Each structure stands twice: as C-alpha cells, then as structure tokens.
Structure 1
Amino acid sequence: MATLHPEVTWAQRSSPVDADKNIIYLTIKAPDVSKDNLKLDLTSTKLSYKGKTDKGQEYGVEIEFFEEIDPTESRHHHSARATECVLRKKEKKEEFWPRLTKDKAKLHWLKTDFDKWVDEDEQDGPAPEPEFDPSMMSQFGGGDDAGGFGGIDFSKLGGAQDLSGLGGNATGLDDDSDDDMPDLEGDKEKEGDGAAAIPSEPTAAAPEKGKAVIEELD
C-alpha cells in the first residue's frame, strides 16, 4: 500500500518582544492514526511525520522550515483526526514568515488554516480557541507525557478572558442582586410591624371601625 501525503494546514503569529506570541500553528490531517503508530520528530529546521492506521495505510511528510524554531518550547496534541502542533519561532521579530517552507514552491498538500490565520496588522485580536485542552499537549520527544504547555499561554494570545476582577462570582453579578428588586404591585405593606392595612370606615362585614367580624360556623 502506497504511502499517502497528508494535508497540512498552517497559520502564524509574530512578536519582536513576546516569545509566546511568536509561533506557528501546524495541523497534520491524517485520520485514524493511533498514538502507538505515530512517529513525530522535530528539529530546529525540520519536522518529520510518519503514521499508520490500523488498516495498514501509511502517511508521511517532511517539512523544512523557512527559519529555525525552538523544539524545546514547541508542543503537539494527537487525536484520531489529526496532529496539531504549536511551534515556537526561534527568532523574535515583528514580521511574518513569508511562507512556511524553506523552498519557494507550490505544494498542493500545504494550505492556509483560515480558522487560525490573521493579517499581520491584526494580531492583537483574540487567538483561536483550541478544540482540546491545551494542558494535554505534549512536548516533542516524549519528555513531557504529563502534558504542560511549555510557557505558551493562550490567555496571552487573547484566547482567554481574565475573570479575576469579578470577585467570587464569575458571572459578574452581585450575590445581593435581589436587594434592589422593586416591590410587587399590591404587595406593599405599612411601615412598622408589616401588617396589612385595615379599612378605616366600617362596612357591612365590619360594623365596628377597625375591626373585622368573625362569623361562627354552623
């Protein structure tokens, strides 16, 4: 069975000062590859991927990067659908990479990830929300099986909101929000002991002023 070339999508962020915002989003779409049948190697200049499904279909791809990345600060997450990577660019700079690969060539299997892509002058907007728990990402080389995101903080990328200023109520509403509720119509009471008002004039049912008649039962 011939080895298939998986589809690869990518997007990026850049920053001259913040390494956490100087990254490549890379997704290798090879479905039904188990973790046990996956080999993923990353160096500062190249990524190599090999995978096999339970039915014996093999996938493979090698990507030589436009510039160097930092493997120790890069992470990946593998699922039954794809392998998603966050690669840390080694050099901090304001400009985007003009392309992902070292060689300038048209590659039919390499596409822009428009769900994650932003223009260079719009990078301060919200970061894409991952479809998985970022804490479940693993370090390349298997040195971080317990997860850990290696310093890449999605909150710094704008993908999370800080709720610390809302106190103990994450909804932003005061716990005593019913204190200012208006009185219901017809339910107002006199000040004092809270008893309902009694008619001041006698009626047929109340011949004596201020007193109600209690009728005996037969």
Structure 2
Amino acid sequence: MVQHPEVLWAQRSSDTDEEKNILIVTVNLPDIDESSLEYNLTATSISFKAKAGSQGKEYAFDLDFFAPVDPQYSTKRLNSRSLNLVLRKKEKQSEYWPRLTKEKVKNAFLKTDFSKWVDEDEQGSVEDVSEEPDLDMGGMGGMGGMGGMGGMGGMGGGMDFEKMMAQMSAGGGGGGGFGGMPDFGAGPSGSGAQDDGDDDSDDDGPPPLEDAEPGK
C-alpha cells in the first residue's frame, strides 16, 4: 500500500530579489532509495514517488501549487533523512502565499515547517535564506559532528578537570593554588584551619558551656 510521506514547507517573499522569493519544501522521509525516486516538478505541480526504509515501502504524493513556480531556478538535494527542495516562485511579490496548494484542502501529511518559517515582517532578520535548506542538510554533517559531540567531549574534559581538582584538594597541597574553589568540595575537612571566624565560633561554643556547668 502506497503511503504519503510527511511534507514540510515554509516560504520567503520578495518583490525585488528573486532568490528570496522561494518555497522551502522538505519531504521528510529517511533512507529514500535513490534508484526508485521519481520526482517531477512543473510550473504548476509537483509529484513524488519512491521506496524508502529497510523494508522498501512505497511513498508518493501529488500537489498542485497555489501559484506558478519556476522549475529552471528550483533545486533539489537528497540526503539520508529527506529530500530538500528550494522552489523559486514565478511571480515576485512581497506577500506570502496563503497556502502551498491550489485548492484549500487539508492534507494530513502536509505541514508547516516551523523550524524554517519566518513571518513576513521578520524576513529581514534572516540571512542567506536561499541557503537555509542546505544548512539543514548540512545539519546532517552537523549531526555527524554531534555524534562526536565536541561540546560533550569538552564536558568530559571538564569532568576530568574537576576530578583532578578534587584529588589536588584532597592531597592538601593544590587547594591554595586554585584559590577558594576546592573549599566548595572539601570545606569541612580542609578549611577549618583557615576559616577561623565561623568554624572557630562553632567549635569553641561547647567548651565554655561545659566549663560553666562544673562552675555551677
């Protein structure tokens, strides 16, 4: 049975810059079999058909656009997560399309891509919008980088550093070298001799009471 893949879309508009007058469409379907991919873009419609996943399930959809696009200046890129499209709107205009499709029909598989959506009056704050889908796909490389998790590696290094500090403070000699930082972990054992104020007042409290009792 042929199924609909999830299709996400966002847009930008411009009445002066063609490259910023685009539709950003993502066919959110992992592991598309490129050899089975049938993709056809015309000025008024788009069709998609492919097998995907380890079981080779069939997916397909057809959509008629709200207004014409320019296939000549539209692009597509395929990665392991999705098929990413940048479709150039034929007519340059500052207003957004009210919807992606010609007919106002609710398609459960067609959704707004909130990760890429920008309101009309906020478009100026987005840089290089024509590259945005590529950034998303570059995100795959980024995801690969995340696999290495440079930040996590830094966290691991940080954990070793703290362990080293703890060992140094436990040894007694390194605590002073790091100022008061080791005192947070070793305050009760190592800081009594230095914190004469609070610690001595707490420690010296009981003896006067004990001395006072025999005196009575």
TM tier relative to shorter chain: 0.5 to 0.7
TM-score (ref. length: structure 1): 0.58
Counting only pairs closer than 5 Å after superposition, residues 45-194 of structure 1 correspond to structure 2 as 45-53=44-52, 55-126=55-126, 127=129, 128=132, 130-132=135-137
Extract unaligned runs of 5+ from structure 2. Answer: 139-216
Query: How far has the Cα of 1:55 moved from its partner?
Result: 2.3
The answer on 1:4 being equivalent to 2:3 is yes
Matched letter for residue 18 of structure 1: D
Partner SS, residue 59 of structure 2: strand
CA deviation after TM superposition for structure 1 residue 68, in Å: 0.2
Report if aligned partners of 2:79, 2:137 keep a CA contact under 8 Å in 1: no
Displaced runs of 4 or more, over 3 A: none
TM-score (norm 2): 0.59
Please state whether the residue corresponding to 1:124 is helix, strand or coil: helix
Aligned residue pairs total 133
1:108 shift after superposition = 0.9
Deviation at 1:34, TM superposition (A): 1.9
Q: State the Cα RMSD in Å.
A: 1.6
Find the residue that maps to 2:34 and give its secondary structure. Answer: strand
Query: Unaligned 5+ residue runs, structure 1?
Result: 134-218
Match of 1:39 in 2: 38
Partner of 1:131: helix, strand, or coil? helix
Deviation of 1:81 (Å): 1.4
Conservation of the 8 A alpha-carbon contact between 1:14 and 1:95: yes
CA distance in 2, matches of 1:66, 1:74: 16
SS of residue matched to 1:123:
helix
Q: Deviations over 1:9-29 (max 9, x none)?
A: 100000001100000000011
Query: For the Cα contact (< 8 Å) 1:34–1:80, is it kept in 2?
Result: no
